[in-house]
């Protein structure tokens, strides 16, 4: 599932592609939105909140989408042949005379009044991709369940929004914290959220996605996806284990030497 850095980049691409020109196509292929056609409206920008996307329209409404597991937004020249737009996995087609944004396999779609956007986000913790994220609230949310493993809590979007399995692994490795340590056993929880924020923003703002700052293939993570390979700090073999409560477990990668129990 894509994380905050990916979503911020997608939001920026949608904003650029759709800015200042009327939609010549505005199709929503979503059962609850049947009959809604956005043709003729203009996008006034797309923002991300955690893993959610909010595309604001000039009629005072917002199209809310979520990629879930397999969703993507592709941007293509409107003049290109239209064949892909007929695929059954296309959920949305927003096109100006220049660019067309195609939402594939989206996992969620709503159309709400822009002033009521907050109602969609009420269940989420503070957005870690924000310029100045509300880290105090993230820490307070974390401390509400002190016995919960820290790795599980970091994945919970109601604690703080934006972290997935990559930044769970990379953040805890940097702080040398085992993913199963209780949240109350973490000495400086604010610093954890600050690190996740900093790493994801650097990745979103850089030339391509990277959790390490290095954009070369095979060098973009310290631990995530590196099971059985040497820790970049101590050469101990990286391991992976499921974290969370069945059936919602997710893989947590860590170094057993740098991040002991
Ligand atoms: Zn190590």
Q: What angle do CA 256, 260, 261 make, to 5 degrees?
A: 120
Q: What is the pLDDT of residue 243?
A: 97
Q: Indicate which residue of 13, 22, 250, 256 is catalytic.
A: 250
Tell me how far the alpha carbon of residue 248 lies from the centroid of ligand 1, in angstroms. 27
For the chain, the average pLDDT equals: 96
Co-location of 152 and 242 in the same domain: yes
| 216: in domain | yes
Q: How many domains in the chain?
A: 2
Query: Of residues 3, 27, 117, 170, which has the active-site annotation?
Result: 3
Structure tokens at 252: 């947590």
Question: pTM, whole model, 2 decimals?
Answer: 0.94
Q: Are 45 and 53 in contact, with CB atoms under 8 Å apart? A: no
Count CB neighbours of 52 within 10 A. 23
pLDDT above 80: residue 84: no
User: Which residue segment(s) compose the domain that 235 sits in?
Assistant: 135-254
Domain with residue 203: its CATH number is: 1.10.8.50
Query: Where is the domain boundary, 86, 121, 156?
Result: 121
Residues with CB under 5 A from ligand 1 (ion): 231, 233-234, 236, 255, 257-258
Q: Whole-angstrom Cα distance, residue 227 to residue 232?
A: 12
Residue 246 lies inside a defined structural domain of this protein: yes
Per-residue pLDDT tens over the stretch 196-247: 999 999 999 999 999 999 999 999 999 999 999 999 999 999 999 999 988 8
3 is catalytic: yes
Structural domain includes residue 90: yes
What is the pLDDT confidence band of residue 251, given thresholds at 50, 70 and 90?
A: very high
Question: Is 201 annotated as catalytic?
Answer: no
pLDDT digit string, tens, across residues 104-131: 999 999 999 999 999 999 999 999 999 9
In a domain, 128, yes or no: no
Among residues 9, 25, 51, 91, which one is catalytic?
51
Average pLDDT of the segment spanning 42-71: 96
b/e for 58-89, b at 16 or more Cβ within 10 A? Answer: eeebbbbbbbeeebebebbeeeeeeeebeeee
126 inside domain = no
pLDDT of the residue at 20: 82
pLDDT at 1: 80
Q: Domain with 32 in it: what CATH number?
A: 3.20.190.10
The reply to whether 165 and 248 lie within a common domain is yes
pLDDT digits (tens, 9 = 90+) for 181-202: 999 999 999 999 999 999 999 9
């Amino acid at each position: 599932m894509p994380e905050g850095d990916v979503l911020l980049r997608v939001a920026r691409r949608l904003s650029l592609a759709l800015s200042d020109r009327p939609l010549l196509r505005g199709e929503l292929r979503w059962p609850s939105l049947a009959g809604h056609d956005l043709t003729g409206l203009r996008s006034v920008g797309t923002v991300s909140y955690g893993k959610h996307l909010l595309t604001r329209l000039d009629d005072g409404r917002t199209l809310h989408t979520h990629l879930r597991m397999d969703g993507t937004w592709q941007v293509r020249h409107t003049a290109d042949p239209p064949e892909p737009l007929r695929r059954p996995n296309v959920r949305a087609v927003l096109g100006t005379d220049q660019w067309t944004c195609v939402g594939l396999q989206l996992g969620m779609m709503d159309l709400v009044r822009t002033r009521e956007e907050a109602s969609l986000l009420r269940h989420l913790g503070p957005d870690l991709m924000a310029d100045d994220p509300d880290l105090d609230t993230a820490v307070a949310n974390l401390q509400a369940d002190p016995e919960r493993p820290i790795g599980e809590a970091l994945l919970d979007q109601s604690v703080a929004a934006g972290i997935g399995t990559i930044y769970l692994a990379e953040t805890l490795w940097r702080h040398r914290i085992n993913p199963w340590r209780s949240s109350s056993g973490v000495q400086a929880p604010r610093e954890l959220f600050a690190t996740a924020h900093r790493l994801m923003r650097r990745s979103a703002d850089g030339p391509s996605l990277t959790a390490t700052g290095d954009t070369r293939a095979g060098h973009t993570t310290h631990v995530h996806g590196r099971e059985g390979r040497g820790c970049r700090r101590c050469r101990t073999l990286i391991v992976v284990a499921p974290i969370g409560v069945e059936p919602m477990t997710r893989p947590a990668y860590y170094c057993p030497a740098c991040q002991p129990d």
